[in-house]
Amino acid sequence: MNVVFLGANNPQICKTLQDIRISSNEFNVLGFIDNDISKHHHDFFGYKVLGGFEIVNSLIEKNVHFVNLITRNTVLRYETSLFLSQKKALFTNCVHPEVNLKMVQMGVGNTIEENVVLQANVSIGNNCAINTGTVIAHECVIGNTVFFAPRACLAGKVLVNDGAFLGTNCTVLPRIKIGCWATVGAGAVVTKDVPDYAVVAGNPAGIIKYNETKYQSGDTL
């Protein structure tokens, strides 16, 4: 499978790719695309930046698969993946080879870094990004275009809806619902349901504001 990555910013992905290449020969990385023209045709930690969105059509014609690495916010991640999807681009998952995917259901377009724990009967949608050290306990349901910062922790049977952003070292107690496009701040301890578009912070977490209501679904397919 020939794969191109969107967003030449975080060198951690290159470390993950080195581990994948050691464990499998089925993942052929052609390079990166990035709309920052100053990066074009330069080396990015051993991989070439091929260009920007102007070359997407030619890559799609060659049945290249895409992985979106943009995690600045879930709205931008959604919009860039939707742009590719509307052009009929193919997506694949990029999962660190040490992550145990037994009894896990997952869509496409997801990235999962090293030291992530996914317990039994976890379900993950499309276009999610799960950063290193995250723990998602048994029977959690993760929607589409959800981002987990490092060491986010979900207890059992948590529901995380589309577009949610979970900050570093946050903790979500069992059976909690995180609303669509909600934001959980770094270090927050979530003890009750978070409404759609709400931004919560603190211990226990409380609502401090609401995100702009721009989208409902976060599914890009």
Which is it for strands 171-172 and 2-6: parallel, antiparallel or unpaired? unpaired
Question: Averaged over 4-9, what is the pLDDT?
Answer: 95
> Higher model confidence: residue 24 or residue 21?
21
Instruction: Give the active site residues.
Output: 138
Structure pTM?
Answer: 0.94
Fold exhibited by the domain 2-94: Rossmann fold (3.40.50)
Q: What is the pLDDT of residues 183-216, one digit of tens each?
A: 999 999 999 999 999 999 999 999 999 999 889 9
Place of tokens 């895409």: 66
The C-alpha torsion from 161 through 162 and 163 to 168, rounded to 10°, is 40
CA–CA gap between residue 92 and residue 1 (Å, rounded): 9
Sheet holding 47-51, edge to edge: 43-44, 47-51, 28-33, 2-6, 65-68, 90-91
Pick the CATH number of 100-210 from 2.60.40.10, 3.40.50.300, 2.160.10.10, 3.40.50.1000: 2.160.10.10
Confidence of residue 221 (pLDDT cuts 50, 70, 90): confident
Which strand (E) or helix (H) includes residue 106?
Answer: strand 104-106
Using alpha carbons, list the distances in angstroms from residue 104 to 22, 42, 94. 23, 37, 15
Domain locations in the chain as residue ranges: 2-94, 100-210
Could you give the 3-state DSSP secondary structure of residue 183? strand
> Average pLDDT in the 8-14 region?
91
39 has pLDDT over 80: yes
Confidence at residue 141, expressed as pLDDT on a 0 to 100 scale = 98
Least confidently predicted of 21-30, 36-45, 68-77, 151-160: 21-30
